[in-house]
Amino acid sequence: MIHPICTTQNGVEVYVDLITSEAASNIAKQPQLLKLVKEVLTGKKLTGEVVCIEQHMGRVIGYDYIVETPDDDVVFYARIVREPVFTRFVKLAKPHSTEYLAIMLKRGASEREYELQDVRMGRLAPPRPGTLNETTQSKDYWATHAFVHDSQILQPRTITRTRPY
């Protein structure tokens, strides 16, 4: 289901796939993300194949569920239901309030459109190791950061304390 979000300052249409995109699960949990994306992008000029934006919103907008993990934190790895890669989780941590919005876009079928790939409250983070868009910073970053384990539905047989990557 393709959902139009906004038109940017330079006339580029931005949309999101509310069924299959990475952004879809975050938007389902936090529908206000669409309003925040629109607020940020209507004043931007988008160029390039891939656009990553870390926007300071000037106010607290919600909670960041990616936290830095000290060596004594209890961490584990698991696959979230319907995801092929492992995610690093921390058990005894709390999300922290944030004024940042992280937006990842990819050029669509034409030069006049972008698809929202992912959006979340918090700062930009490299893709998780094992994803198609993994970067050279991914493993180092995710060795010291993790998602706060909250209500994610995990594949039970994939839970491990051993780093899978």
Tens of pLDDT, residue by residue over 94-141, are 999 999 999 999 999 888 999 999 999 999 999 999 988 899 999 999
Residue 164 is assigned to a structural domain of this protein: no
Q: Which residues pair with 96 in a beta bridge?
A: 64
The number of domains in the chain is: 1
Residue 78 lies in a domain: yes
Tell me, what's the pLDDT at 82?
85
The CA distance from 153 to 150, in Å, is 9
19 in any annotated domain: yes
Give the three-state DSSP class for 62: strand
Half-sphere exposure of 8 (CA within 13 A, CB side): 20
Looking at the predicted structure, is the pLDDT value of residue 12 above 90?
yes
22 has pLDDT over 90:
no
Q: Which domain holds residue 149?
A: 2-158
Q: Is residue 88 included in any domain, yes or no?
A: yes
- Provide the token pair at 53: 């934006």
Residue 124 lies in a domain: yes
Q: What is the pTM of this model?
A: 0.91
pLDDT tens digits, 39-90:
999 999 999 999 999 999 999 999 999 999 998 999 999 999 988 999 999 9
Question: What is the reported pLDDT for 133?
Answer: 84
Question: Would you say residue 14 lies in a domain?
Answer: yes
Answer yes or no: is 163 within a domain. no
Among residues 107, 74, 138, the alpha carbon closest in space to that of 8 is found at 107
Question: Is 90 a domain residue?
Answer: yes
